[in-house]
Structure 1
């Protein structure tokens, strides 16, 4: 889009000076507006203004985004009217309060160093990468990732629409994957740009306001007639999902001659997801889902069925060989703990392990009374949902597997890492490497022997990386319990100077550097808050602790 100077001269986007009057098109870093906002750096430019990263000097240098709207009007009276119109027409955005939306802080008028009066909008700064940048750095997304993305973003749209607001500009570059909690955040409401266009049209005489919407993403009724409905946003969200799935631009997926989407030849998805996307992309608004909640319900109804969690108390009288246990055997089981520790997270792995039976141990820690007993002993060393007793395994194989489990358990215990967290961490990584399993537990027969071996390899590699992270025992013990609020607290400590010159930006940068040295394959990918995200938080906690110790 072209960029206008304050005189209304049209310039190419990215220009530094106006080609007609020589006006500086960007404000300088370090400039302070209204004795409150100090500009840090440029972020972006568009047809209606420039965007800056700034610090709020009245709020402990808290970072925020400033949007300067151009072209600007001339004269105090016209500027006051423009500001009034801006606040009145965009006032609905003030009232939007959702954790996945940046807060709109204020509209204000400020005079720059050059003596030019400008209009600015201040809002929260969201630290993270846009999905457009993620797509460029890591490639296309899987169906499960896109499903998760949609399920996390649709409640935001549902909230926005119930407030009477339409976003109008949904696209990968207007959605940020927030660093602190890996949640998608919706930014850059097209309504703000539409208001800016209206102000420009009314007070500068530069013509009628432009019909806004991103080409290829916005539906026909929006681009040609300027009409928008909740279903218009759902259409743009479906196009965004296609772009993430295929890695291609909308123009490459749309047959403009026939007016049809041709994405199904690019990638195969489940019939259920295909049906949902197809309805979201209907040409007529009335043929689409009318509400975001309807899309969410359709996605959840078509989600792969999860295997129910197995209640260990139901297994008290079940013999692993399939025989009805006698009273003596049953009494032995009754003396075993019957509560299974719940997982520390909400991953899709399954709690299907058995509590240990009565076994004997040698000085080496293992005696295979029977092949099945060794499996049970292995589960007593470290429970895992991937391994279940079977009479098909030879005593030698089961003893070897039990020894592997014992070795893993010893290393995990020496690191003082919670068992439930570690098993969930490994299982999540395993299933991401094997999406063809669709989250199922492994079979105990020879068919899945190679997969079981791979699970052990991943577990050993994960322990290697946790050792290489060189975290303190206290921080490792807390793995599985970190939350977004912990990170927010550390950021606030940095912003308030409690960590000296150590800033929140530096904390994020150094945490990213250390994490991606350990997990380079995760760069550009979403981190689950309750698995790899826990390690990211732990590294951040360690960074903060080191800074605090150095200051004492």
Structure 2
């Protein structure tokens, strides 16, 4: 694409487009480094000279706010410049090289509890500062949080208050007003959808974002209580601690008065390990969804009996003969890693190894995956500046991310399989295991043929850590296959794991 904007910015490619304009990736030809930047083109929805003058004033004011926000922290993109050209408005912002939270879930699977906590601990002080500037972001979601490659920090993007200014019109009384509602359905609460966002509207969106990271479920996929409007999500994340579940529950409370009043309150709740629930909250989740069962001793992860009956399947019959045919046919590749039952709620898993340790998300981006476009491409969202409370910027203690245990790493893999995220599960195998021609004669296609074509579900009955140190681990797993042809096949696999220090994760290097 050959386009030079403002005689300075050479457009490389279009990143996205929407109702308010387009977003480009460009190079600054007047900088020695030819640094890359994001250029957001914005156009008013009405071609009216009087409206245009008003939009111009609001655009300049909101650009100044963006400059202020980006100058405070490196977790908000820096505003380099803004200009007007042929009746359209342009913002020039820092290009954040990284992956959105949506992209990371798609590439690597669900986040662990410790990883979600880490995201929150690093992002909440930024959000507290934003609110202290009388700004409500109004479009917090996985697409608008980028985990930067160079330092792993979450960056909050799409402060598009200027986009709201593009929707300026005159009402019937001749007064200027906004004709649009900013936000993403599902991630914005009811008061925001009605055009009355408050600070806790952002906290609500952050809570829904955490649920997506833990469960892979978009808000539209979750049920709500018909009496209270509260979101029911615990059944999809049974291993989440009661403390974090309570924090999320309060953040996503239906009524603003029942939520945390500030980002600082969430930080304090996470640090203290307790949540004070306002007496006005009427709804209580069922006890079964509140926490996993007590830990089972002797370094074992086990399925809690009686919590969720297995699906009905025809009698197994001739299991030994069938299992032998799997091995002869080269399908033992499916036994490299096994997953929880597909297409049904997962059974609760409990763990006694390193009970204080939680896994971290996988940080690699495999070559054969094209991640979704960086969400600085968005052109449809903007914050509001309607609130007036100005809390102080909190001081935050950021604990180091806990190292995942080998058993938890295997559990996370099972969760990926349970969610049907076969590519993410495949990426948890070491390159040498992926290239093993005996197990995967056709590489990923063989792997997908097994899991997607022949196995209906797998019940994992036990995970046992045989040995573990800082570099290697051995884990045993027992399970039951439920095949698509109706047969049931028991199995057991011993996994050899290697610690991948670069990506802070365990990878499966061998199986027996």
Alignment TM class, shorter chain as reference: 0.5 to 0.7
1:502-541 matches, within 5 Å, as: 532=502
List per-residue Cα deviations over 1:320-340 (Å, max 9, x = no partner). Answer: xxxxxxxxxxxxxxxxxxxxx
Aligned 8 A contact 1:48 1:70 in 2: yes
Aligned to 1:274: 245
Structure 2, unmatched stretches of 5+, are: 275-352, 354-399, 413-463, 475-496, 506-512
Aligned to 1:458: 472
Aligned to 1:289: 260
Aligned to 1:264: 234
Instruction: State how far apart, in whole Å, the 1-side matches of 2:250 and 2:263 are.
Output: 12
How many residue pairs match? The answer is 302
Aligned to 2:378: none
Which one of the candidate residues 108, 111, 118 is aligned to 2:83?
Answer: 108
Instruction: State how far apart, in whole Å, the 1-side matches of 2:407 and 2:467 are.
Output: 14
Larger Rg: 1
Instruction: State how far apart, in whole Å, the 1-side matches of 2:75 and 2:244 are.
Output: 24
List per-residue Cα deviations over 1:372-410 (Å, max 9, x = no partner). Answer: xxxxxxxxxxxxxx9xxxxxxxxxxxxxxxxxxxxxxxx
The structure where helix makes up a greater share of residues is 1
1:232 pairs with 2:201: yes
Which one of the candidate residues 189, 193, 205 is aligned to 1:223?
Answer: 193
1:51 pairs with 2:42: no
1:374-389 matches, within 5 Å, as: none
Aligned 8 A contact 2:100 2:146 in 1: yes
1:36 pairs with 2:50: no
Aligned 8 A contact 2:114 2:402 in 1: no
Shift of 1:302: 1.7
Aligned to 1:375: none
Provide closer, same or farther for how the CA distance between residues 198 and 105 of structure 1 changes in structure 2, counting only shifts above 3 A.
Answer: farther
List per-residue Cα deviations over 1:63-102 (Å, max 9, x = no partner). Answer: 1111111356658886555322211245322211211000
Aligned to 1:389: none
Aligned 8 A contact 1:100 1:183 in 2: yes
TM-score (norm 2): 0.53
Aligned to 1:179: 149
Provide closer, same or farther for how the CA distance between residues 256 and 210 of structure 1 changes in structure 2, counting only shifts above 3 A.
Answer: farther
Structure 1, unmatched stretches of 5+, are: 1-28, 112-116, 304-385, 387-423, 437-449, 461-519, 536-552
Aligned 8 A contact 1:280 1:289 in 2: yes
Instruction: State how far apart, in whole Å, the 2-side matches of 1:232 and 1:207 are.
Output: 21
Q: Secondary structure of 2:212's match?
A: helix
1:99 pairs with 2:74: yes
Aligned to 1:63: 36
Question: Quick one: higher RCO (CA 8 Å, sep 6+), 1 or 2?
Answer: 2
1:74-223 matches, within 5 Å, as: 74=47, 79=52, 81-96=54-69, 97-111=72-86, 117-198=87-168, 209-223=179-193
Shift of 1:62: 0.9
1:344-493 matches, within 5 Å, as: 433=409, 451=465, 453-455=467-469, 458=472
TM-score (norm 1): 0.49
Provide closer, same or farther for how the CA distance between residues 534 and 256 of structure 1 changes in structure 2, counting only shifts above 3 A.
Answer: closer
Shift of 1:427: 6.8
